[in-house]
């Protein structure tokens, strides 16, 4: 790492078009190469060829007799205990889904504790989303009469904790309070209604352990159940609680890509997922700006990576520095004083890259530590103190910045974020105040909006950064399909101007542009809405669920009947698998652009891409080619339109 011998460039003239389509990322890869800094793409090369058994999902290590491998072309057909390929693939898939659901449920659990502490007055968080309390209380059946904001927030936090403590056989309250009765009935008949998220996670780990479940189909049904744990104990609960604590997002304009880093300010990058941490860093960076100026900087600049970036973008207008595959590259600019991480999606490599510069890395949670980082254990109670400490570390690091090592790409694009369902309804209300969803529905019926697709998920080093996402979205927009996006795909689309009004003119089909312009102008934006609406972080995929529920409810149909689809073109994390499973459970066709490790089982592949449609109305579409994937989605949307008679 950071070998100062500048003599031997291994790939001096490489263009990095296999790695990324992002010119800022390519520029930093070139710098990394020049400075002999290893990135995730180098480590990917070292992993090649990746294990074929793992790739197909037919390797089992669930007991110490293993590892056992199945030969897809012959013997052995079974592991030592007799588990065959179908069983091993299904068991592995359930463990992956558990990993994702556990990540999101744990995220929501932290937010609940923070809200509870805020409501009890023991933590320095102001409850900024009082307008979210009414709707959440209403769906949970909590009466608001005569109660203060704090009392209601506490009651809602306790209702969430009650789901985590549910020892009865009743399903999770958050699920039955959110999903339509028809969906609850469908899931009830399948026996997949989760009761207590922690219990479901425990039971699924037990179910997949050696010598328990031998039924691949039963295991796949448990995948659906864990998808619902993710959807309601992770995404929905997380978003509801975070909106109450930090406020419902409203449209906000900012910028995206590495060019948002500043040459003359202290740069702090927030990375991870929990707004309890990133919101406090933003608050204290603003409050301590004077200290940065006194230290010779022009101020403090905050930028976000991954979903922390999405969280503070949509509520604070903080710019996005980059998505998952750009995290090391942000440090390689040489201009980052501090990277603050909390949980999920930060690479263990970041401290090694940071060691080549003056960059400090701060970890903040007991479960997310890095040996060479500074650990500032954040709690709701001490958040002010720890955030100040972190910001002061950044200010102190500024003096150590080495100008000779600084190279900030100039690339950045205008991007709008903060399109919660509440905001979308508000924008539509400018067209029809009495019946806000009517203009959207009318335009869908008239074919001006052919359908809608939600883009979600990550970058994955196996596919060129941002490419599949951008190519698919171009095809779909040209065909008048409205796009909503979250997570790292939202970052990707932000970087290339899809989240801006200009993007509508450039990419939207004529009919869609007409609708975006009419709504944007009525809502006072002075131009079209962006053709891709940024709905937030990965937990905010619940907002897409809310939108689908609202549209289906309005039309008096089921979500599975709508001309809609979902796509995770570059998924990498277990969370993307569990989210996708929830979306399929809702009845939505869900495209994945990276082949999940299931092909070793024809049975599991068949169920996920076909048979499950008969149970929930949704299924997975596996397609690595962006144009074929977009076409598959268009065919699906057209078929749904036809079935609706529109």
- For residues 95 and 219, is the Cβ–Cβ distance under 8 A? no
Give SS3 for 454.
strand
Length of the chain: 646
Q: Work out what residue 550 binds among ligand BF8, ligand SF4, none; the CB cut-off runs from 5 to 8 Å by kind.
A: none
28's tokens = 């930093």
Q: Which stretch binds ligand SF4 (CB under 6 A): 6-14, 55-63, 432-440, 561-569?
A: 55-63
- Is 81 a binder of ligand SF4 (CB under 6 A)? yes
Give the contacts of 495 (CB within 8 A, at least 6 positions apart): 22, 24, 256, 257, 320, 322, 411, 413, 466
Contacts with ligand BF8, 173-212, as mask; x by CB under 6 A: ----------------------------------------
- Is 212 a binder of ligand SF4 (CB under 6 A)? no
CA distances 473 to 132, 263, 298, 454, 626, Å, are 31, 33, 38, 10, 9
With CB under 6 A as the rule, give the number of residues binding ligand SF4. 12
- Is 529 a binder of ligand BF8 (CB under 6 A)? no
Helix runs in 341-466, H state only: 350-354, 383-398, 421-429, 437-446
- Judged by CB under 6 A, the residue of 25, 58, 60, 303 near ligand SF4 is 60
- Judged by CB under 6 A, the residue of 31, 42, 54, 66 near ligand SF4 is 66
Closest to 230 (Cα-Cα) out of 610, 585, 605, 597: 585
Query: For 532, phi and psi rounded to 5 degrees?
Result: -120, 120
- Judged by CB under 6 A, the residue of 161, 210, 429, 555 near ligand SF4 is 210
Q: Which residue, 247 or 309, has its beta carbon nearer to ligand BF8?
A: 309
- Judged by CB under 6 A, the residue of 28, 29, 32, 83 near ligand SF4 is 83
CB of 64 to ligand BF8, least distance (A): 31
Task: Kindly report the number of other CB atoms within 10 A of residue 413's CB atom.
Answer: 21
Q: Which stretch binds ligand SF4 (CB under 6 A): 14-22, 80-88, 603-611, 613-621?
A: 80-88
Q: Work out what residue 462 binds among ligand BF8, ligand SF4, none; the CB cut-off runs from 5 to 8 Å by kind.
A: none
CB of 461 to ligand BF8, least distance (A): 11
Task: Kindly report the number of other CB atoms within 10 A of residue 645's CB atom.
Answer: 6
CB of 513 to ligand BF8, least distance (A): 28
- Judged by CB under 6 A, the residue of 111, 137, 306, 544 near ligand BF8 is 306
Long-range interactions of 37-46: CB distance < 8 A, separation 24+: 37/1, 37/2, 37/328, 37/332, 37/353, 37/356, 38/1, 38/349, 38/352, 39/328, 39/329, 39/332, 39/349, 39/353, 40/325, 40/328, 40/347, 40/349, 40/461, 41/461, 43/349, 44/461, 44/462
Residues 94-123 touching ligand SF4, rule: CB under 6 A, are none
- Is 458 a binder of ligand BF8 (CB under 6 A)? yes
Contacts with ligand BF8, 330-369, as mask; x by CB under 6 A: ---------------x------------------------
With CB under 6 A as the rule, give the number of residues binding ligand BF8. 15
- Is 205 a binder of ligand SF4 (CB under 6 A)? no
Helix runs in 404-539, H state only: 421-429, 437-446, 467-478, 487-495, 501-507, 510-522
- Is 61 a binder of ligand SF4 (CB under 6 A)? yes
CB of 613 to ligand BF8, least distance (A): 25
CB of 96 to ligand SF4, least distance (A): 16
Contacts with ligand BF8, 570-599, as mask; x by CB under 6 A: --xx-xx-----------------------
Q: Which stretch binds ligand SF4 (CB under 6 A): 7-15, 58-66, 371-379, 415-423?
A: 58-66
Q: Work out what residue 210 binds among ligand BF8, ligand SF4, none; the CB cut-off runs from 5 to 8 Å by kind.
A: ligand SF4
Tell me which residue has tokens 């998924």: 571
CB of 97 to ligand BF8, least distance (A): 14
Closest to 476 (Cα-Cα) out of 509, 445, 443: 509
Q: Which residue, 341 or 622, has its beta carbon nearer to ligand BF8?
A: 341
The C-alpha angle with vertex 588 and arms to 583 and 592, in degrees rounded to 5, equals: 70
Alpha-carbon dihedral angle through residues 11, 14, 16, 22, given to the nearest 10 degrees: 120
- Is 34 a binder of ligand SF4 (CB under 6 A)? no
Contacts with ligand BF8, 531-550, as mask; x by CB under 6 A: ------xx------------
Closest to 248 (Cα-Cα) out of 136, 144, 110: 136
Task: Kindly report the number of other CB atoms within 10 A of residue 21's CB atom.
Answer: 19
Give SS3 for 281.
helix
Closest to 589 (Cα-Cα) out of 548, 644, 546: 548
Contacts with ligand SF4, 290-319, as mask; x by CB under 6 A: ------------------------------
Q: Using the Cα atoms of residue 296, residue 297, residue 298 and residue 300 in order, give the sign of their dihedral.
A: negative
The DSSP secondary-structure symbol of 607 reads I
- For residues 541 and 486, is the Cβ–Cβ distance under 8 A? yes
| Integer Cα distance of 236 and 242 in angstroms | 10
CB of 520 to ligand SF4, least distance (A): 56
Q: Work out what residue 576 binds among ligand BF8, ligand SF4, none; the CB cut-off runs from 5 to 8 Å by kind.
A: ligand BF8
Query: What is the secondary structure of 13-52 as a DSSP string?
Result: T---TTTBS-HHHHHHHHHHHHTT---HHHHHHHHPSPPH
Q: Work out what residue 307 binds among ligand BF8, ligand SF4, none; the CB cut-off runs from 5 to 8 Å by kind.
A: ligand BF8
Contacts with ligand BF8, 463-492, as mask; x by CB under 6 A: ------------------------xx----
Q: Which stretch binds ligand SF4 (CB under 6 A): 12-20, 65-73, 193-201, 467-475?
A: 65-73
- Is 324 a binder of ligand BF8 (CB under 6 A)? yes
- Is 457 a binder of ligand BF8 (CB under 6 A)? yes
Which residues contact ligand SF4 by CB under 6 A?
60-63, 65-66, 68, 79-81, 83, 210
Which residues contact ligand BF8 by CB under 6 A?
273, 306-307, 324, 345, 457-458, 487-488, 537-538, 572-573, 575-576
């Amino acid at each position: 790492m950071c070998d100062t011998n500048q003599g031997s460039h291994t790939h001096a003239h490489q263009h990095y078009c296999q790695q990324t389509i992002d010119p800022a990322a390519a520029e930093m890869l070139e710098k990394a190469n020049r400075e002999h800094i290893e990135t995730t793409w180098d480590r990917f090369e070292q992993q090649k060829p990746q294990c074929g058994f793992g790739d197909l999902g037919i390797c089992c290590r669930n007991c110490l007799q293993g590892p056992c491998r199945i030969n897809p072309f012959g013997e052995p057909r079974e592991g030592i205990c007799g588990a065959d390929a179908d069983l091993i693939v299904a068991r592995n898939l359930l463990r992956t889904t558990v990993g994702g659901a556990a990540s999101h449920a744990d995220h929501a659990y932290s937010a609940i504790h923070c809200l509870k502490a805020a409501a009890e007055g023991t933590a320095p968080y102001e409850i900024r989303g009082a307008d979210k309390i009414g709707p959440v209380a209403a769906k949970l059946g909590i009466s608001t009469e005569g109660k203060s904001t704090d009392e209601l927030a506490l009651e809602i936090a306790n209702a969430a904790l009650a789901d985590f403590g549910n020892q009865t056989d009743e399903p999770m309250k958050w699920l039955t309070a959110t999903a339509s009765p028809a969906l609850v009935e469908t899931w009830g008949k399948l026996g997949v209604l989760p009761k207590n998220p922690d219990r479901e996670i425990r039971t699924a780990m037990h179910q997949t352990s050696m010598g328990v479940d031998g039924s691949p189909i039963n295991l796949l049904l448990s995948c659906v159940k864990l998808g619902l744990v993710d959807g309601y104990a992770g995404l929905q609960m997380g978003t509801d609680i975070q909106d109450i604590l930090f406020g419902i997002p409203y449209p906000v304009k900012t910028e995206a890509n590495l060019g948002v880093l500043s040459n003359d300010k202290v740069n702090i990058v927030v990375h991870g997922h929990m707004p309890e941490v990133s919101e406090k860093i933003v608050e204290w960076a603003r409050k301590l700006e004077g200290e940065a100026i006194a230290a010779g900087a022009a101020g403090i600049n905050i930028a976000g990576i991954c979903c922390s970036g999405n969280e503070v973008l949509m509520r604070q207008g903080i710019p996005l520095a980059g998505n998952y595959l750009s995290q090391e590259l942000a440090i390689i600019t040489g201009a980052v004083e501090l990277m603050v991480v909390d949980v999920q999606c930060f690479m263990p490599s970041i401290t090694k890259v940071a060691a080549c510069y003056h960059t400090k890395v701060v970890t903040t949670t007991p479960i997310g530590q890095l040996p060479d980082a500074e650990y500032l254990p954040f709690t709701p109670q001490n958040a002010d103190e720890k955030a100040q400490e972190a910001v002061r570390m950044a200010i102190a690091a500024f003096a150590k910045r080495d100008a000779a090592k600084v190279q900030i790409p100039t690339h950045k694009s205008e991007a709008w974020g903060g399109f919660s369902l509440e905001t979308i309804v508000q924008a539509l209300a400018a067209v029809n105040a009495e019946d806000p969803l009517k203009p959207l529905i009318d335009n869908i019926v008239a074919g001006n909006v052919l359908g809608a697709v939600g883009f979600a998920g990550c970058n994955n080093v196996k596919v060129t950064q941002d490419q599949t996402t951008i190519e698919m979205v171009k095809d779909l927009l040209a065909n008048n399909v409205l796009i909503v996006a979250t997570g790292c795909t939202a970052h990707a689309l932000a970087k290339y101007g899809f989240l801006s009004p200009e993007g509508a003119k450039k990419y939207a089909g004529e009919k869609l542009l007409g609708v975006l312009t009419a709504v944007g102008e009525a809502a006072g934006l002075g131009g079209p809405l962006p053709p891709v609406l940024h709905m937030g972080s990965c937990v905010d995929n619940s907002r897409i669920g809310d939108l689908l529920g609202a549209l289906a409810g309005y039309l008096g149909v089921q979500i599975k009947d709508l001309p809609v689809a979902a796509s995770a073109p570059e998924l990498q994390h277990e969370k993307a698998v569990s989210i996708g499973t929830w979306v399929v459970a809702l009845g939505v066709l869900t495209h994945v652009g990276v082949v999940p490790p299931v092909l070793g089982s024809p049975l599991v592949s068949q169920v996920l891409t076909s048979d499950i449609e008969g149970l929930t109305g949704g299924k997975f579409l596996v397609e690595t080619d962006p144009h074929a994937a977009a076409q598959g989605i268009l065919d699906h949307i057209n078929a749904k339109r036809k079935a609706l008679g529109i």
